[in-house]
Amino acid sequence: MSILIKNVLLDDQKTDILVEGNRIAKIAAGIETPSADCEVINAEGMAALPTFVNMHTHIPMTLFRGYGDDLPLQEWLNTKIWPNEKNLDEEIIYWGTKLGCLEMIKTGTTCFSDMYFFLPQEAKAVKDMGIRAVLGLTLFDGCNSDNLPNVKKELEQFEQTLALADDHVQFALSPHAPYTVSGASYQYIKAYAKERNLLMHTHVAETQGEVDNTLRDFGLTPVQHLHKWNALDERSTLAHCVYLTDDDIKILADTGATVTHNPNSNLKLGSGLNFRYPELVKAGVNVTLGTDGCSSSNNLDMREAVKMASFIQKGRTKEPTVMPTSESLAIATVNGAKVLGLNMGRVAEGCLADFVLVNLNTPAFTPNHNTLSNWIYAADSSVIDTLFCDGKILMRNHHVEGEEEIMAQAIKMAKKLIKV
């Protein structure tokens, strides 16, 4: 099966794009239709842009959107999230995940790295929606190494889940954070992940309080603490890292760990604006971008996160040249794809055919001096007309097949989930 996209704007040049199977086979002006069954799309007035890789979220929590806003973190967790999460079941997870996938498709994301529970149901929803994910099993031990046997038991059961991996879904391990998981469990989980070449995805240094407590309890920063327990290498992704010392940045660079910035979540939860992007880049750390869950950033819109990340860095450094559009696009696309082992995040020959066609006949793209600038700084996701993932069209005319049923089911599931 092939699809030929004619007259599309790519890097501000008009060209054609030929998709064959799940890859971008050719990019050139005047490509001839290769076969009678090739679908031809006239993309006059549209531009092609890569889809996003959302490197940190908790996708079934999309059902908590708008529930318990504007509360202190601990009160929010204790009174709104944890009591209701006891009601989670397979059906809630499936439709909550589908709702999140639908929102990602609508906002131009085709791959995400998640941290939650009920992974088989998440995996089924992701496969049914046709996008890609790395689903991390969330693990806790109450920061008490006496509970390591429970973690081991969970990992024994996890072996069955691993068999569900395919081209669209990979699995990872997600020890929650250094304040909920002991060093001994981190070491065990990391060794288990390493043996099976799985990613380890965790929360680190999200708040000043977390850093203060880790210093008090272990005499180490959260990053130093994880390093001590051999939890950091090029297959480790660390969400947040809002509070990093120079030594932490050196450790991250030396170990090859990836950092995921979540600007909207860090702002909404009052975690802070301290993300040290220029220093991380200078040290050679791989920086990626995420939205975090919808209960702490309220949407899964990566384009909005890119703009926020860029503006925060310019504001906090008082330097408008920091994080130009080429870099902000990279943290939201290729930098994440690289860690996940996927050749995506670029519209280029040989890459996976994951991209969007955006409508240029819109106020945000008028005038269009620079497509990337308008996409990141001016537009919103309503300009996305068509979305490709793995060579298949998942959205046309900004409509996803079955979206009405997904939203109807999600409303039912939210009622079943939220009781207090």
- Residue placing its CB nearer to Zn ion in the complex, 57 or 386: 57
Size of the site for Zn ion (CB under 5 A): 1
What is the rounded distance in angstroms from the CA atom of residue 20 to the CA atom of residue 39?
11
Which of 247, 254, 200 is closest to 222 using CA atoms? Answer: 247
- Per DSSP, 376 falls in state I
Which of 135, 93, 98 is closest to 114 using CA atoms? Answer: 135
- Residue placing its CB nearer to Zn ion in the complex, 124 or 261: 261
- Residue 114 in the binding site for Zn ion (CB under 5 A): no
CB of 59 to Zn ion, least distance (A): 11
CB 125 within 8 A of CB 409: no
Stretch that binds Zn ion, among 22-30, 158-166, 290-298, 379-387 (CB under 5 A): 290-298
CB of 164 to Zn ion, least distance (A): 23
Give the C-alpha distances (Å, rounded to integers) separating 9 from 45, 53, 277, 336, 348: 8, 22, 31, 25, 13
- Residue placing its CB nearer to Zn ion in the complex, 16 or 292: 292
What is the rounded distance in angstroms from the CA atom of residue 225 to the CA atom of residue 237?
15
Which amino acid appears at position 254 of this protein? Answer: D
- Residue placing its CB nearer to Zn ion in the complex, 206 or 390: 206
| Size of the chain, expressed as the number of residues it contains | 420
CB 43 within 8 A of CB 8: yes
CB of 58 to Zn ion, least distance (A): 6
CB of 29 to Zn ion, least distance (A): 44
Give the residue nearest to Zn ion (CB): 292
- Residue 206 in the binding site for Zn ion (CB under 5 A): no
- Residue placing its CB nearer to Zn ion in the complex, 292 or 390: 292
- Residue 292 in the binding site for Zn ion (CB under 5 A): yes
- Residue placing its CB nearer to Zn ion in the complex, 176 or 398: 176
- Residue placing its CB nearer to Zn ion in the complex, 292 or 301: 292
CB of 118 to Zn ion, least distance (A): 17
CB of 33 to Zn ion, least distance (A): 46
CB of 56 to Zn ion, least distance (A): 6
Residues 6 or more apart from 199 whose CB is under 8 A from it? 113, 134, 136, 170, 172, 173, 193, 235, 236, 237, 339, 340
Stretch that binds Zn ion, among 17-25, 185-193, 224-232, 289-297 (CB under 5 A): 289-297
Residues 6 or more apart from 64 whose CB is under 8 A from it? 80, 81, 84, 293, 294, 295, 417, 418
> Using CB under 5 A as the criterion, which residues of the chain lie in contact with Zn ion when the complex forms?
292
